[in-house]
Amino acid sequence: DASPLTGVEPEDWNKVLARLGIDAVLVNLSELSRLAKSGWNAPGLTADRVLEWMRQHTAPLAPPSQWEEFGVFLVRPVMKNGGDA
């Protein structure tokens, strides 16, 4: 399946997610890296870009947990003004 984020810059991902009614994202950085190595990732949807998006445009939905050890995070998109996307 094509990603709705293909061709969209990380700073605009929240707008796309909001338009699709998505208010929580389960991020698996290890899986994104594996997909990139195999050539199956969506263009531009790399672990580095997702990590950049997470740092600048999301807030954690779950407290730090053992999941982080495996590169898995539950986040919510937030707009620059701090509100939900």
The pTM for the full model equals: 0.83
For the chain, residues with pLDDT lower than 50 are none
Composition of the chain by helix, strand, coil, percent to 5: 40, 20, 40
Note the pLDDT of residue 62.
Answer: 82
What is residue 67's predicted lDDT score, i.e. its pLDDT?
79
Q: What pLDDT was estimated at residue 83?
A: 60
- CA 77, 82, 85 angle in degrees (round to 5)? 35
